[in-house]
Amino acid sequence: MGDSLFSLAGKTAIVTGGKKGIGRAISLAFAGAGADLVICSRGIEDGRLQAVADEIHRLGRRCLAVQADITRRADVDNLARRAADEFGHIDILVNNAGNFIVAPLLELSEDDWELTFNTHLKGYYFCCQAVGKKMVEQKRGNIINIASSLAHRPVPGRGVYSIAKAGVVMMTRVLARELASYHIRVNAISPGLVRTELIEYLTGDPEALKQRETIIPLGHIAEPEQIASVALFLASEASSHVTGHTILVEGGELA
């Protein structure tokens, strides 16, 4: 396959949760492939979202940084509207924004249940609906949902996250069927452990993280860029006949 198959020249992509970790890596990978970006985050006061936008500008691409809480329909509608007004079309949506709550289901609070589902299911649904309607008008588009390897196996204390991400996998399959006739592809990525601030915070101990790596068949935790490369494949013409699928990127743990 030639490099042109992975080109995103002339494309516009929205990436939610774009200020750090996987979202930042995907945004930079797409910009490197020629796409213009709209990136969003619930909080922008720390300047990190704009810092990513500045990195994209240095790559020679346009970027709009927008404050948006994806659990709020008004914020999502504004995000989609601003993207369409700024660039004229929306070709790619990456649903990446998320949170992570650790608690056994029997001890989980109602607020934490609602926060998890509002973010990973309702929020993704709002984005798919708002952007998907514009893609239907265009009769083309590409949606990539970030799920998790925990959607495919239960882990104690991670139950609410696993359930929500399993919902993301099914939503991906349903939307792929519903939108295929409009030439809109919908796929998901299920990462395992990825070296982000969240993983380092949850683990707390660098030595414990190294020990955790020993049970991954490929021998290491993924870097955000390794998830971004799969997103680039799904966003590009290299995957033009792929829809309704979830790609596991977990180093072989579920093999």
Cα(147)–Cα(144) distance, rounded to whole angstroms? 9
C-beta of residue 168 within 8 angstroms of C-beta of residue 151: yes
Catalytic residue among 125, 161, 182, 201: 161
Task: Check if 124 is active-site.
Answer: no
- Catalytic positions: 161
